[in-house]
Amino acid sequence: MKYRGISSTSNAIIKEAARLKRKRNRYESRLFLVEGEDLLDAALARGITPRQVFVLEGHDELAPTSTAIYACPWPVMEKLSELGSGSRVVAVFEFLDHVIPRDLTGGRGPLLYLCGMGDPGNVGTLIRSAASLGVSGVALAPGTADPYSPKALRATMGAIFEVPVFIGLESADLISRARAAAVDIVCADPHEGVELWHADLATDFALVLGSEREGVTEELLRAAKTTVSIPQEASTESLNVAMAGTVVLYEALRQRAGA
């Protein structure tokens, strides 16, 4: 364990870590920040060790003993934090690189595919739902919100360290992989499609969710075996995309459990 104190916000180590709050710098360095004890504990529980840990002075017990630890006063912690009040611990992790299985799912449940979803909170929430509901992985199309952004990470509640996340999977690549593996594509649509409980979701498939404004692309709709919708009261607005995706994944889990 390497331990030292850092008292200045202009310290080179602090400046380099603070750069990771910007997406471009995260993807250039392939590193990201995790803020707060809960997220750090979630990573450690799954055997994922950070490169560096910055802790508020007097709280060394929050940091693992197998990595570089830097004790910092509040002004330094606030420079690293995205939260208004700062955090007692901030850690730097390497990107969680995963390889998509040749058969897309590895026989471990459906693959969730997020296409054009711009809200990082929705992306993070769906990663959390995926981890809870037996999803084999979450693939993100180009243009989808960054799962390593602070807002997305907080919404995952640590699930980012549990379920494989694949970044930058083009729609055409998903379609070709699904065809090669004989895996069905199922699209969710708020207005059209088979009522959810009448769809066959007991086998592995790729579930496609689009943005709330644009929906699923025509290319993916044409490639889909099924489009599903969630029946609602006529007077209500359609569900938030994270909630809708969670409902579909729950129904798929229910069907697999009863198969």
pLDDT for 118-133, tens place per residue? 999 999 999 999 999 9
E strand or H helix at 3: strand 3-5
221 SS3 class: helix
Whole-number pLDDT of residue 149: 97
Nearest to 123 by CA among 84, 166, 82, 91: 166
In 3D space, the residue among 98, 105, 91 whose CA is nearest the CA of residue 178 turns out to be 105
Q: What is the pLDDT of residue 80?
A: 95
Query: Measuring CA to CA, how many Å separate 212 from each of 55, 172, 216, 217, 232?
Result: 39, 21, 9, 12, 16
Q: Which structural domains are found in the chain, ordered by start?
A: 3-94 (3.30.1330.30), 111-258 (3.40.1280.10)
- Residues of the chain where predicted confidence (pLDDT) is lower than 50: none
Say how many CA atoms lie within 13 Å of 239 toward its Cβ: 19
State residue 34's pLDDT score.
Answer: 96
Separation CA 41–CA 151 (nearest Å) = 18
**DSSP for 228-240, written as a single string:** EE----TTSPPPP
The DSSP letter of residue 119 is -
> How crowded is residue 13: how many other Cβ atoms within 10 Å of its Cβ?
16
Q: pLDDT by residue (tens digit) across 189-199?
A: 887 889 999 99
**Looking up tokens 């070709």, which residue turns up?**
176
Q: How far apart are CA 255 and CA 241, in angstroms?
A: 21
Taking residue 256's Cβ as centre, other Cβ atoms within 10 Å add up to 16
